[in-house]
Chain A
Amino acid sequence: AAGVIQSPRHLIKEKRETATLKCYPIPRHDTVYWYQQGPGQDPQFLISFYEKMQSDKGSIPDRFSAQQFSDYHSELNMSSLELGDSALYFCASSLEGQGFNSPLHFGNGTRLTVT
């Protein structure tokens, strides 16, 4: 079965640079979520999109922005990168019509290292 595709798998950036992470949800899934997982921590919710509209916002810095495109893929844009942004970034998708019963399916993540 098709899974959530994230690219790139690894990314190394310097401080103050920008980064763009891409996510392709499972076909027919209408909701995309972004999570940030720091070393030794649990994933923290950043932002979500339902049918290309932002549906919820968590602890996402103002330096970050995201959007969902007409083909349902999503991109997380990160600017003025800081050392503390080094983390594993997950994208997940779900079928919102199933509501809270539906699990989130996660991609393999993008490991961002800021030097």
Chain B
Amino acid sequence: AQKITQTQPGMFVQEKEAVTLDCTYDTSDPSYGLFWYKQPSSGEMIFLIYQGSYDQQNATEGRYSLNFQKARKSANLVISASQLGDSAMYFCAMRASGATNKLIFGTGTLLAVQP
């Protein structure tokens, strides 16, 4: 069975500072992908960044980077230079290469960026 754990229900960060959102995962499948999604209060689900289980380097997309530690089964999202518009719910999610490719989500972290 696959599982995503996000232990931070809520986080605060000052504008322009960096913030790390934690994510650990569990799977017996050797091939998997890890994803982060942003959900603003308006409700849409926005894909941010992806990390494959065989990727040697940490993924980066603009101000987003993924701190991938395979041995620890963690895939933390780092947001640099936080902006007010980063205030949202952030979900860590995983797809594995088994018979089903559905995306499973963690419980999310609500990030509030303070001016």
Contact = CB atoms under 8 A, between A and B. Distances in A.
Interface in B13-69: 31-33, 35, 37, 43-47, 50, 52
A40 to B, nearest CB: 9
Interface in B58-115: 91, 95-97, 100-108
Most buried by B among A88, A106, A107: A106
Contacts of A101: 33, 50, 52
Contacts of A92: 45, 103
Interface residues of B, number: 25
A52 interface: no
Given A42-B91, A45-B104, A106 B97 contact: no
Contact of A55 (B47, B97, B100): B100
A98 to B, nearest CB: 10
A8 B108 CA distance: 26
Nearest to B106: A42
A90 interface: yes
Contact of B43 (A33, A41, A108): A108
B105 A33 contact: no
A100 B31 contact: yes
Contacts of B97: 99-100
A96 B101 contact: yes
